[in-house]
């Protein structure tokens, strides 16, 4: 095991995840539901198969899928459907709160629920071992960092004028955004539940000679397909209700190419978090592998807030608020190194 290598691999995925919404800002003329589901085609349908075909031993992916228990495949997909509710509202949270505050709240709750609940369900006594206690400490430090960033977000809301809020986030709505972000965070934790349910698929993959670094890739196919179903139904409903389905065929050729490029780029950037999470978690100590989820969420939040600063979402706030935000980012980064104490 190599915890530092594990953290660095997860960090690579976090860079992709925290950056995925940036290309979406380049989408022109399309409604949210139109570009969200197109990036989903890339992230949840195409990318999982492409990466699995590339990194699973040649010709072994289909046999792995066929030999995996039906119950594991079904439950991974079910948790994917539940995660889908978190995924689509996750996009809405950033729409109403911005990249920094939206990701902070949603991913913070996702980190806590996604780390602790699977461990409890698996029968792990989190207070009965050094690894379990360190996991709880790591989650607590993560939540502390998130709370600091949340406080900075509250200060930001009080300090900025309505015009400044709208300039930073066009549809800024604090109360609505927070409610959506809380729901998104809790439901998004189901993704890690899907990984737990898919462990029999990982066992089959390893038996077929898959490198342990890539053992989670076949499971991702089922989790993300479930998530795609949820998002497809909701976005399809919005396309029909709002008559925005015309976005796909009334756009000019240049706009269509622009939007397809940036939505697909966003989708593949988003997928990288789970590809590298699978690689990184395989490098963590066995007793703290569950903490890998918290590391992923903490780094996602830290990097997303750095993007928030770059995108001027914090423009107009005073220096004290920025200092508090930076302290929160530092605490989140430090939380990932709790794993080194095991």
Model pLDDT for residues 33-86, shown as the tens digit of each residue = 999 999 999 999 999 999 999 999 888 999 999 999 999 999 999 999 999 998
With CA atoms as reference, report the closest residue to 50 among 244, 257, 267.
Answer: 267
Cβ atoms 328, 298 nearer than 8 A: no
Other C-beta atoms closer than 10 Å to the C-beta of 86 total 23
Q: For helices 292-310 and 130-159, what crossing angle results, to 10°? A: 20
Q: pTM surpassing 0.85?
A: no
The dihedral through the CA atoms of 319, 322, 328, 333 has a sign that is: negative
CA distance 229 to 224: 9
Q: For each successive 10 residues of the chain (342 residues), what is the average pLDDT?
A: 84 88 90 94 96 92 96 96 86 72 73 78 72 81 83 75 61 78 86 91 95 95 96 94 93 92 96 92 76 81 82 82 90 76 58
Model pLDDT for residues 159-177, shown as the tens digit of each residue = 666 666 555 556 667 778 8
With CA atoms as reference, report the closest residue to 85 among 219, 197, 235, 196.
Answer: 235
């Amino acid at each position: 095991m190599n915890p530092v290598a594990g953290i660095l691999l997860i960090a690579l995925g976090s860079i992709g995840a925290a950056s995925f919404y940036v290309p979406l800002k380049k989408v022109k003329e399309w409604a949210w539901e139109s570009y969200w589901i197109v990036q989903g085609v890339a992230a949840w349908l195409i990318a999982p198969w492409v990466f699995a075909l590339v990194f699973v031993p040649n010709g072994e992916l289909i046999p792995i899928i066929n030999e995996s228990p039906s119950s594991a495949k079904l439950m991974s997909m079910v948790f994917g459907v539940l995660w889908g509710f978190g995924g689509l509202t996750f996009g809405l949270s950033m729409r109403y709160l911005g990249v920094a505050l939206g990701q902070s709240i949603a991913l913070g709750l996702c980190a806590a629920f996604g780390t602790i609940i699977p461990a409890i369900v698996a029968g792990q006594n989190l207070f009965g071992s050094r690894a379990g206690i360190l996991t709880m400490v790591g989650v607590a430090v993560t939540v502390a960092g998130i709370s600091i960033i949340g406080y900075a977000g509250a200060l930001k809301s009080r300090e900025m004028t309505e015009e400044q809020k709208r300039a930073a986030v066009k549809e800024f709505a604090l109360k609505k955004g927070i409610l959506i972000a809380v729901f998104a965070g809790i439901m998004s934790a189901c993704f890690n539940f899907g990984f737990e349910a898919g462990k029999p698929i990982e066992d089959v993959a390893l038996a077929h000679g898959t490198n342990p670094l890539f053992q989670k890739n076949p499971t991702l196919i089922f989790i993300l397909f479930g998530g795609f179903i949820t998002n497809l139904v909701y976005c399809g409903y919005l396309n029909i209700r709002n008559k925005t389905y015309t976005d796909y065929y009334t756009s000019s050729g240049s706009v269509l190419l622009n939007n397809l490029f940036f939505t697909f780029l966003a989708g593949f950037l988003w997928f990288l978090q789970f590809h590298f999470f699978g690689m990184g978690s395989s490098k963590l100590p066995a007793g703290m592998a569950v903490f890998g989820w918290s590391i992923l969420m903490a780094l996602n939040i830290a990097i997303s807030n750095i993007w928030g600063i770059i995108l001027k979402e914090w423009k107009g706030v005073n220096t004290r608020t920025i200092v508090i935000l930076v302290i929160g980012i530092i605490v989140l980064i430090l939380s990932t190194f709790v794993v080194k104490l095991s």
